[in-house]
C-alpha cells in the first residue's frame, strides 16, 4: 500500500520526534496535502529551486528537507520572491514539502550522531542537553496472546533508561471482572464474574507522550475497557539536545584532527583556530551553525568545537577562552544527513509495510566555491 503524506510525517516523528525541535524552528509540513498519496520521496538538505525541480522531474510527491522552506512568518505570497516562487512551483506540481531540522539535530541517530560517528567519537553525549524527560510507568493487563501487539503500540512512546529503550517486564496471573449491563465484553458474559488468564506488562514511557500512549493502548487492546495503572517515577529520562560531545579514540593534535576531517568529509578546505600542535581528545561538535555553543562546550571541558559558519569574532572568543575551533563549513557538516536520513526512512517505511521509493537529491552543491 502506498502511504499518505500524513503516514510519512508520523514515521518521521518516530525517527526525529518533532517535539525535540527548538522553539524558534519550523519543522513538519511546510506545504501540501496531508492526505495525498506518496509513491516517491526525495531527501535533500535545502528546499532550493534545484531540489524542487529534481523532485518534480523524478516524479516525487514528497520532498523532505533539513532546512525549513518557511522559516519566518510570511506576510504575503509573492511568486517573484522566495519562498513564494518555490512554494508555488511545489504546489502546482503536487509536490508536498516536509522539514526535519533541529528535531533531527537532537534526535538519537540524527545529524550530530552521524557526524560524531564519522569523527570516530566514543562516549557520545548531547552537548546542549536541555530535555530531561519525566518518566511514567504504565502497567496494563492483557489477555494471553495479545502481549506483542500491546508492546508494539506502547514502545513507540518508550522512555529511556540510560542507553536502553523498550524497557518492560511481564508477569502472568489471573484477572477477574464482572461485565455489567450495557457492556460489550471481549471475554465472559454480563452479570457473571469472569476469570481470565492475563499478563501484566509494565512499560517505561515518556511522560509527555502519556495521552498519545493511552490512546494507542486503547486502540491496540482487545478489551472494551482496558485495565491499566499509571505510576509517576522519580527517575529521569534520557537527556536530548543539540550537538554532541565525546572522546576521540586516541589523542591527536589539532592539526591532525583538522586534516583528517578534511579528508574524511571530502572538504575543499578546513580551517581551525588554535595551536596546531595542541594535543586534543575531548571534542564537541554541532552540525550547521554551532558557534553559539562555544562557551558551553568550553564549560564542559571540550578542547575543540567542530562546527560550520564560524565568524571572525567567534574565532577571537575561542582564542580568549582557550578552546580550539575547527570550521568544516555549514554544508559539509550537514550534507551527510541526506543519505543517513534516506536509510532510516527507507527502513521505517518498509518496516511498516508501505510501498514508496525513497531517493536522494543528486544536484545539491555547496553554494561556496573555493579557488
Which helix (H) or strand (E) element contains residue 175?
strand 168-177
- By CB under 5 A, how many residues form the interface with Zn ion? 2
Helices 210-220 and 147-155, packing angle to 10 deg: 160
Residues 261-290: x/- map of binding to Zn ion (CB under 5 A)? ---------------------------x--
Contact 315, 338 (CB under 8 A): no
Interacting residues of 194 by C-beta distance below 8 A, sequence separation 6+: 176, 177, 178, 179, 185, 187, 188
Least separation in angstroms between residue 358's CB and Zn ion is: 21
The minimum distance between CB 307 and Zn ion, in angstroms, equals 10
Q: Cβ of 326: how many Cβ atoms within 10 Å?
A: 24
Subset of residues 43 to 102 that bind Zn ion, contact rule: CB under 5 A: none
| DSSP labels, 96-142 | EEEE--HHHHHSTTSHHHHHHHHHT-EEEEEEEEEEEEEEEEEEEEE
Nearer to Zn ion, 7 or 334 (CB): 334
**Measured from the CB of residue 288, what is the shortest distance to Zn ion in angstroms?**
3
In sequence order, what are the residues at sequence separation of 6 or more whose Cβ sits closer than 8 angstroms to the Cβ of residue 24?
none
Grid coordinates belonging to 41:
520521496
Residue nearest to Zn ion according to CB distances in the complex: 288
Task: Give whichever of 126 and 288 is closer to Zn ion, judged by the CB atom.
Answer: 288
Rg of the chain over Cα atoms, rounded to whole angstroms, equals 24
Work out how close the CB of 274 gets to Zn ion at its nearest, in angstroms, rounded to a whole number.
24
Min dist CB 242 to Zn ion, Å, is 11
Contacts of Zn ion in 331-350 (CB under 5 A): 334
**Cell numbers 550547521 correspond to what residue?**
288
The smaller minimum CB distance to Zn ion, of residues 19 and 67, is found at 67
Binding mask 315-334 for Zn ion (x = CB under 5 A): -------------------x
DSSP assignment letter at 77: -
Binding to Zn ion, residues 147-206 (CB under 5 A): none
Least separation in angstroms between residue 126's CB and Zn ion is: 17
Q: Which residue lies nearer to Zn ion by CB, 83 or 288? A: 288
Nearer CB in complex with Zn ion: 126/290? 290
Contact set with Zn ion (CB under 5 A): 288, 334
Amino acid at each position: 500500500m502506498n502511504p499518505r503524506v500524513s503516514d510519512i510525517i508520523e514515521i518521521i516523528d518516530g525517527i526525529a520526534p518533532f517535539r525535540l525541535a527548538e522553539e524558534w524552528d519550523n519543522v513538519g509540513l511546510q506545504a501540501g496535502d496531508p492526505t495525498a498519496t506518496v509513491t516517491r520521496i526525495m531527501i535533500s538538505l535545502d528546499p532550493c529551486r534545484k531540489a524542487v525541480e529534481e523532485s518534480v522531474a523524478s516524479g516525487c510527491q514528497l520532498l523532505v528537507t533539513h532546512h525549513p522552506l518557511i522559516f519566518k512568518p510570511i506576510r504575503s505570497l509573492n511568486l517573484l520572491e522566495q519562498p513564494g516562487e518555490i512554494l508555488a512551483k511545489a504546489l502546482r506540481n503536487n509536490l508536498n514539502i516536509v522539514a526535519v531540522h533541529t528535531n533531527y539535530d537532537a534526535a538519537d541517530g540524527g545529524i550530530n550522531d552521524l557526524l560524531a560517528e564519522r569523527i570516530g567519537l566514543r562516549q557520545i553525549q548531547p552537548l546542549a542537553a536541555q530535555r530531561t524527560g519525566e518518566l511514567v510507568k504504565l502497567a496494563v493487563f492483557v489477555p494471553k496472546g495479545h502481549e506483542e501487539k500491546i508492546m508494539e503500540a506502547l514502545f513507540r512512546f518508550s522512555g529511556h533508561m540510560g542507553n536502553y529503550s523498550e524497557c518492560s517486564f511481564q508477569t502472568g496471573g489471573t484477572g477477574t471482572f464482572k461485565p455489567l449491563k450495557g457492556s460489550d465484553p471481549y471475554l465472559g458474559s454480563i452479570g457473571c464474574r469472569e476469570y481470565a488468564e492475563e499478563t501484566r506488562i509494565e512499560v517505561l514511557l515518556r511522560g509527555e507522550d502519556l495521552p498519545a500512549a493511552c490512546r494507542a493502548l486503547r486502540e491496540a487492546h482487545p478489551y472494551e475497557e482496558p485495565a491499566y495503572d499509571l505510576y509517576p517515577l522519580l527517575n529521569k529520562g534520557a537527556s536530548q539536545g543539540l550537538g554532541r560531545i565525546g572522546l576521540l579514540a586516541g589523542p591527536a593534535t589539532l592539526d591532525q584532527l583538522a586534516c583528517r576531517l578534511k579528508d574524511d568529509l571530502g572538504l575543499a578546505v578546513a580551517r581551525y583556530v588554535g595551536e596546531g600542535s595542541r594535543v586534543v581528545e575531548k571534542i564537541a561538535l554541532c552540525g550547521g551553525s554551532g558557534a553559539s555553543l562555544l562557551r558551553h562546550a568550553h564549560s564542559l571541558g571540550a578542547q575543540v568545537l567542530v562546527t560550520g559558519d564560524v565568524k571572525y569574532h567567534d574565532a577571537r572568543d575561542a582564542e580568549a577562552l582557550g578552546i580550539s575551533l575547527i570550521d568544516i563549513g555549514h554544508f559539509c557538516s550537514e550534507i551527510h544527513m541526506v543519505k543517513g536520513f534516506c536509510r532510516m526512512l527507507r527502513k521505517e517505511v518498509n518496516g511498516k509495510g508501505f510501498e514508496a521509493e525513497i531517493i536522494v537529491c543528486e544536484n545539491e552543491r555547496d553554494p561556496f566555491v573555493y579557488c
